[in-house]
Structure 1
C-alpha cells in the first residue's frame, strides 16, 4: 500500500493521472506549433526550408516525364500497343459494378482529402497553400504539355498520352496527385487512406477505359512533378522543433533546462548543450527528418561498396540510428565501459530527441606523455569489454576516447555503434584503435598494449594487419593518416618487416571495387558502341562477300601486335619479365581500351604491371615513358620513308595544307611559344616535366647505348606495327582489293596517330574515319573501304576484348596487375 501511494504521488509530480484500472494518462502536452502569424500554423509561415530529398524527387519525376514525352512520338505503333495493353469492360453487369465501385472510391478520395484539409487547418496551414498552388500548377502543365504534344507530334499521340478532352480521368488524377504531393501529407492522419482510395480510383478508371497505361503515366508524372516543384519553390515547414518547443518537450519529461545552446549541426541532425538545475550539463541530439536524404545516400553507398560483414546492418534512417545509439550506450554502461548516460528518448512531433549526460574526461590526444601509456592501455581494456557484449563502436577516433580521473577510459560518442556485430566489425575497431594510439605512443607501444589486452595468435595478428586499410577507417582517421606512413608502421610492428607479404587469406573488405565498376562499364560501352557501328552496314552481306582465309590472316596479324608490344616492353625494363606473362598484360590492355583512350589505358596498365613485377613507381613510369618515346622515334622515320616510297610526297602535293592553313598554324605556334616563354608557364612546365625528364633521360641513354636492347626494341616496334599493317592488308584482300605496302603503311600510321590523339575509348570513331578517308584517297572504293575497316577493327579491337577481359581477370587474381 505504501509503495502504491508513493508511486501515485510520484506520478502526480510528473504530471500524470492514474485511473482505477492502473493506466497512466499523461497531462496534455504543450502544442508543438504556435498560433500567431508567421508561426508554423500560418498560411505563409516565415520559417520554411527546402528538403534535399524533395529536390532529388523533383529531378527524378521531371526526368521520367521528359523521357515519356521524348520517347512516345518515336514509335506510334508501340504506343498504341501499350495503350491497348489492359482490357476494357465495355458493357453488361461487370461495367455496372465497376461504375458503382468507381463512385464509392471517388467518395473515399473526397473523404480522405477532406481529412487532410482538416488536419492542415488545425496544425499546418501552409499545406493548404502548397496544395492549392500544386493543383493549379499541375492542371496548367497538363493542359500546356497536351497542347504542345498535339501541335508538335500530332493529335493521335497527344490523345494517347493525355486522353480525350472530355471523358478522360487524366486531369482529375493529375489534380489529385498534385494536391497530395504539394500538401506533403506523409505520416499525417489520412495519408494511408488517401493512397488506398486513389489507387482504387485508378484501377476502376483503367478497367472502365477512362485511363490507359500511357495516360496514367503521363497524368501521375505531371501531378508529382508539379507537387514537388511547389514544395521546392515554396518550401515546407521544418519538422525539427524550434527551441521553445524543445524546451517544452524536455520539461514534460522533468528535464527543465535553463540554457540550451546549439553545439553542432550536420545533415539531418543538430546537437545542443544544455544546463539544468536538477540534471546538470546534458547533451541534446535532435534528428531532423527534413534533412534525412543526404546521410541515407552515404549509407547506401557504403553498403554497396563494402561487404555486409564489414558494415553489418547499419540503420538507414537517422531515427533508427539515434535509437541504436541509445541502446548501445546502455549496453556499454552495463558492461562497465564509461559512456554517456542516456536520460531520455523523446518524440517532438516527427522529430526524435535524445538527452544524454556527456562523458567527462580528457581526450587521449590531450594527455601528457606520462598519461599517454596509461590511456592507451585503458582504451584497449574498454574496447575489449565493449566487444564482450557484442557491440562494435564503428567510429574509433582520438576525439572520441576519454581518459577518466580514476584511470579508466571510455568512449564519448556511440552514434555509429552497432549491437550483435560480426567478428570482422570488432576487428576493424581494434585496427582503428591501433592507428589512433600509434600516433600518441608509437606503433610498437600500441601493439604491446593490444597484446597485453587481447589473446592473439600469429594467425589473428596477420589477419589484423590485413585489416589496416584506409577504406574501412572512420573518415576523420582516414583523412589523418593520408600521405603518412602510420599504417605501414603499425603493420610492421604487428608482423615484422615486409608489410602484408606472406599473409594468406586476408579478408576481402570491398564488395564493389573500382576495377569491378570498370569491367561493368567497359562491357556496357563495348556492346553499345559495337551495336551502333555495325548497325549501319549489312553484316550478312559483308560476311558472305568476305574471304575467310584472309580474315584468319587478319586475326593472326592482330595476335602479332601483342607479341611485338611485349618484346618492346622487355627491351626497356632492367628486370627480367617472362614473355608469356608480358603478352597477357598487353592483351589485358585491349580490354582496358574499351573505356579509356588508347594511349592512356595501355600506359597505365603497363605501369601497374611493372609495379607488381617489383619495380618502384618512378622506375616503372620511366621505363614505360622510354618505351613510348622510342616507339615514336622509330615510327616517325618509318612513316617518312614509306611516304616517300609511296609517292605521296611527290605526286599528291595537293594534300599539303594551303597557305592560309599554314599561316594559321604558324600563328598558333607563335602564340603557344609566347605562352611557353612566360615565367608562370615556364615554372609550371619545369615543375611538372623536370622530374619526369630526370627519371627518363638515364633510361633513354642506357637503351640507346646498348645495341642489344636497342635491337630488341626495334624488333618489337616493327613486329607491333607490322602486325597491324598485316591485319589491314588481309582485311582489304578479304574483300578483293589491295594497296601497295608503302601506301598501306602510311595510311595505317596516319590513322593510328589520329586515333591515339582522340579522347574516345580505343580511338573509336577517329580511327575508323581516318582509315576510310585514307583508303578512299588511295583509290579504294568507299564500300570496300568501309567493310575492310570494320573487319580490321573487329580483328584488332573487338575480338581481342573478351580475351583481354580473361587475361585481365587472370592477372588480377595472381596479383600481377
Structure 2
C-alpha cells in the first residue's frame, strides 16, 4: 500500500508508523526501518517511534494515513435535532403568545426576587465572559496545534452574529410580524432584540471549538454561557424565549459549520490500538486494517503468537452512523422487531461484550471476546477470536443434509437460551467440520442482538435463517430440514415474518437476485400445515412514508381547525342555529351510506342484504380513521362480497365497477352544477394559469411514455388483464336493467346526498348560497380531500370547503360553522356507528 510522502512523526497517534523493512540499509550500512507514509529512517529514530514505557514489543501497523478532517454523523444528527427544536419552539411561541407572555412574567418575578448581590455577581461573570472566553478557547486550540479550528470557530461566531442581525431586521421591521410579540418585549428605546448576538456567537464558537471532554475548558464555558443567559434575561435585553432561541440558533450554526467544514478527527491510529491491546494482555505483533468502514466501525486483523484476532474499533467520529440508523429503524419498526440504539460508546461496547459472553456460555461457536479496552478518551476496541469455516454463501448448493442439520442445531441452541442474533445473513452463518469430520454451525460475527430476547425477536431470527439457508439450499430442502430439527411450530411461527424489512442488507441484496424465493418458502410452509395459508404478515412497521405524511397532514389540519375555531362564537352559533336544518344535515349524511350501499348492490348480479351492505359502508367510515377512505373502501367492500359468496376475481371487479360508477356520477354532477352555478364572480372557479399550462404537458408526457416499448409491455402485462377481468362483470351487470338502475342511481344518490348535507349545514346558520354553487364547492373540496393522505381527508376538506363557501359569499364565521357541522354529520358522527357495525359484521362473519 503506497502512501503520500510526509515527514516522520515522533508522536504516537499521528500518521507515520514504524514497520519492518527487511533487506534495506541506511547510508551508514545499518539496518533500516521503514515508516509507512515517510522516508526510510535509521533504527534510532525507529526506536523513538516504537518506544513503549510498558516494555511491550513493537507492533507492525499497516493502514493508510488518518484523514485530516472528518464529517461526524453525530454532528449531522444533532444539527437536524437542533433545527427541529428551534422550529418547534418558535411555532409554539407563535401559537401561544398569551401563554408565553404569562410564563415571561413568572420568570421575571422569579429573577427579580433573587438577591441583588447574586445578580450582580452573575452580571460581572457574564461581562468578563465576552472577552475572556474566546481568548481561553483560542489559547487552548493553539496549544493543541489547531489554528484552523480556531479560525473556523471565529467564522461560526461571525456567521451567528450576522444571522442575529438578519433576524432582528425581519422581526422588528414587521416582515415576520407574528413573531414580534413572542420574541420581543417593549423597552425604553423601542423593543428588545429577538435574539442575543453575544449568546449566539459564543454558543457557535464553543460548538466548533469542540470543548467536550476538555477537563477545565468545558465547565468554564458552561458557567459562562449560563451566566450570560441569566444576565441577558434579567436585564430586560431579551425575553426568555429569545434566550432559548439564541442558544438553539448558536448551536445550530456551530454544528452546521463543524459538519460542513469537517472536524479534527479523534479516531485513534492503529499504533494506539495495538498499544491498548498489548496493555490488555494480548501479544499483538501485527495489525492490519481490513475494513475502514466510516459508517460505524473499523475492522483490523491482529496477528499474535497464538493466532489471528478480529479487532473492532468504535470511535466518536463514526459512531453516530450506526446509532442514527438504529434509531431510525426503531422509529419505523414496532416493539421487539428491532433493538434500541446505544446512546454512547460505552453502552455499545458493554452490550457487545455481554452478547459475546452469553454466546460463549451457551456453547455457541462464535467469536469469543478476549479483550475490551478504551483507546484514548473517545474510542474503544474489542478483540475477538476469529472462528474458522465457510459461509453459507460460499458453500451454496453443496450443503449436505448433515451440514443443514448443524445449522438448525445452532439456531435451536440460540432459541433455547433466549438469545437473538438479529443478523443471521448468508455472510454470517458458517459451517465447519471437527477432527472427526462432523459438521457444526458457526457464527462469523457476534452481532448486536438481545439477551433474554422476546419471542418476536427469536421468530425474526428463524425467518432470517430460513431465507439464508434457502438462498443456498432451496426452499424445499430448507423447510424439510428445519422442521426435522426445530419442529413445525417454530417454522410456521416464522411465516408471518418472511418480510424483507427484517432481513440484513446482504440478505436483501441476495433476494433481489431471486425475487421468487420468499413466495416459494411461504408455499412450502403452508404445504406442510395448510391452515397456515390464512396467516397474514405481521405489521412490523411503526412509521412509513405515508404515515409521516399523514402525521404532517393531521398537524396542518389541527392548526387550521384550531385557528378557525378561534374565530367562531360558539355560544352564538348554538343559540342561533336552526336545528331543523341541522337534523336535515344528519339525515342527508345518512342517505350517503344508502347511496353507497345501492351502488355496491348494483355492481354484482347476486342479491345482497341491504342491512348488511349498509352496515359495511358504516364500517368503511370507521376504517377511515386509520387509512385514506379509498383504501378502506376497497378492502372492506371486497371482503364483504367474498363473504357474500362472490368469487374472488368477480368481487374485485365489482368493487372496481362501483368505483367507476361513482366517478362517472361525480363528473356528470360537477359539470351540471358548474353550468347551473353560472360564471358570476361569486361562483367563479377559474383554474390557475399554471394548471392550464400543465395539462398539455401532462398529455405529451403520457404520449411519450406510451411510445416506449417497455411501458407498453408493462401496460399489456399488468393493466390489460385487470381490464379484461372487469369487462365480463360490466357486461353481466348491464344485462340486468334493474342492476344498472341501482348502480347509476346509487352513485347519483351518494353525491347528491353529500351536496344536500352541505346545503342544509349552511342553511342551519342562516346562510342561503345558491345550491349549484354549494355543489361546486363540495366537489372541489372532495377532490382535495382525496388527494390529502390523512384519514378522511382531514384538514384538506375543511380548508377547501371553507374557502369555497367564503368565495361564494358566505361570511367566514358562518362558513367555518357550516363546515364543522357538515363534517360532524358526514365524518365524525358515523364513526361510533361504524365501530359497532364492524364488530357486528365480524361476529356474523360477514366480513
Task: Please report the TM-score for the alignment, with normalisation by the length of structure 1.
Answer: 0.75
Cα shift at 1:548: 0.9
For residues 811 and 374 of structure 1, do their structure 2 counterparts lie closer, same or farther at Cα, with a shift above 3 Å needed? Answer: farther
For residues 736 and 234 of structure 1, do their structure 2 counterparts lie closer, same or farther at Cα, with a shift above 3 Å needed? Answer: closer
Distance 1:115 1:652 in 2: 73
Distance 1:773 1:193 in 2: 59
Contact map agreement 2:388 2:432 (CA 8 A) in 1: yes
Cα shift at 1:580: 4.5
> Does 305-314 or 702-711 show the bigger shift?
305-314
Distance 2:186 2:79 in 1: 21
For residues 757 and 49 of structure 1, do their structure 2 counterparts lie closer, same or farther at Cα, with a shift above 3 Å needed? Answer: same
Contact map agreement 2:670 2:779 (CA 8 A) in 1: no
Aligned to 2:534: 501
Distance 1:135 1:652 in 2: 59
Is structure 2 residue 384 aligned with structure 1 residue 352? no
Give deviations 1:370-397, integer Å, cap 9, x for gaps: 6431221001222333444443212112
For residues 390 and 65 of structure 1, do their structure 2 counterparts lie closer, same or farther at Cα, with a shift above 3 Å needed? Answer: closer
Distance 2:670 2:191 in 1: 73
Aligned to 2:156: 134
Superposition pairs of residues 660-739 of structure 1, within 5 angstroms: 672=699, 676=703, 680=707, 684=711, 687-688=714-715, 689-728=719-758, 730-731=760-761, 734=764
Aligned partner of 2:310 among 283, 289, 296: 283
Give deviations 1:588-612, integer Å, cap 9, x for gaps: 5446668988767645664576678
Cα shift at 1:401: 1.2
Is structure 2 residue 429 aligned with structure 1 residue 433? no
Aligned partner of 1:221 among 232, 235, 248: 248
Distance 1:639 1:208 in 2: 62
Aligned to 1:378: 406
Unaligned runs of 5+ in 2: 1-51, 59-64
Aligned partner of 2:596 among 541, 558, 565: 565
Aligned to 2:75: 54
Contact map agreement 2:130 2:198 (CA 8 A) in 1: no
> Alignment partner of 1:623: what SS?
helix
Aligned to 1:7: none
Contact map agreement 1:310 1:424 (CA 8 A) in 2: yes
> Does 278-287 or 306-315 show the bigger shift?
306-315
Give deviations 1:634-691, integer Å, cap 9, x for gaps: 6667788x77xx9959x99999999x999x9899779948963885169746743433
Distance 2:545 2:644 in 1: 21
Aligned to 1:364: 392
> Does 132-141 or 377-386 show the bigger shift?
132-141
Give deviations 1:533-565, integer Å, cap 9, x for gaps: 555555544443332123112201111111220
Distance 1:560 1:768 in 2: 20
Aligned to 2:105: 84
Contact map agreement 1:263 1:272 (CA 8 A) in 2: yes
Is structure 2 residue 296 aligned with structure 1 residue 237? no
Give deviations 1:676-731, integer Å, cap 9, x for gaps: 38851697467434333222222211111133432432443344245335434544
Cα shift at 1:220: 1.8
Cα shift at 1:616: 8.3
Aligned to 2:326: 299
Give deviations 1:601-629, integer Å, cap 9, x for gaps: 64566457667889788655432221122
For residues 290 and 811 of structure 1, do their structure 2 counterparts lie closer, same or farther at Cα, with a shift above 3 Å needed? Answer: farther
> Does 91-100 or 281-290 show the bigger shift?
91-100
Aligned to 2:578: 547
Aligned to 2:656: 625
Is structure 2 residue 507 aligned with structure 1 residue 485? no
> Alignment partner of 1:398: what SS?
coil
Is structure 2 residue 443 aligned with structure 1 residue 411? yes
For residues 332 and 790 of structure 1, do their structure 2 counterparts lie closer, same or farther at Cα, with a shift above 3 Å needed? Answer: closer
Distance 1:509 1:162 in 2: 55
Contact map agreement 1:567 1:716 (CA 8 A) in 2: yes
For residues 83 and 774 of structure 1, do their structure 2 counterparts lie closer, same or farther at Cα, with a shift above 3 Å needed? Answer: closer
For residues 728 and 137 of structure 1, do their structure 2 counterparts lie closer, same or farther at Cα, with a shift above 3 Å needed? Answer: closer
Cα shift at 1:87: 4.0
Cα shift at 1:500: 4.8
Contact map agreement 2:599 2:747 (CA 8 A) in 1: yes
Distance 2:818 2:429 in 1: 69
Tell me the C-alpha RMSD between the 2 structures: 5.4
Contact map agreement 2:184 2:239 (CA 8 A) in 1: no
Aligned partner of 1:335 among 362, 367, 370: 362
Aligned to 1:183: 209
> Alignment partner of 2:707: what SS?
helix
Distance 1:783 1:174 in 2: 43
Distance 1:610 1:133 in 2: 68
Give deviations 1:405-458, integer Å, cap 9, x for gaps: 32111110112233233344334323332333244445454344344444x5x7
Contact map agreement 1:392 1:426 (CA 8 A) in 2: yes
> Alignment partner of 2:106: what SS?
coil
Aligned to 2:801: 768
Aligned to 2:43: none
Aligned to 1:262: 290
Aligned to 1:19: none
Aligned to 1:36: none
Superposition pairs of residues 394-405 of structure 1, within 5 angstroms: 394-405=422-433
Contact map agreement 1:561 1:721 (CA 8 A) in 2: yes
Distance 2:82 2:187 in 1: 17
> Alignment partner of 1:265: what SS?
coil
Aligned to 2:48: none
Distance 2:78 2:449 in 1: 30
For residues 313 and 568 of structure 1, do their structure 2 counterparts lie closer, same or farther at Cα, with a shift above 3 Å needed? Answer: same
Contact map agreement 1:262 1:271 (CA 8 A) in 2: yes
Distance 1:597 1:402 in 2: 46
Cα shift at 1:221: 2.8
> Alignment partner of 1:366: what SS?
helix
Cα shift at 1:114: 8.1
Aligned partner of 1:324 among 332, 351, 354: 351
Distance 2:839 2:68 in 1: 56
Aligned partner of 2:452 among 396, 415, 420: 420
Distance 1:58 1:71 in 2: 20
Distance 2:190 2:801 in 1: 52
For residues 627 and 513 of structure 1, do their structure 2 counterparts lie closer, same or farther at Cα, with a shift above 3 Å needed? Answer: same
Cα shift at 1:753: 4.3
Give deviations 1:205-233, integer Å, cap 9, x for gaps: 37954765234224323432332233134
Distance 2:400 2:315 in 1: 38
> Does 330-339 or 151-160 show the bigger shift?
151-160
Aligned to 2:481: 449
Aligned to 1:3: none
For residues 485 and 617 of structure 1, do their structure 2 counterparts lie closer, same or farther at Cα, with a shift above 3 Å needed? Answer: farther
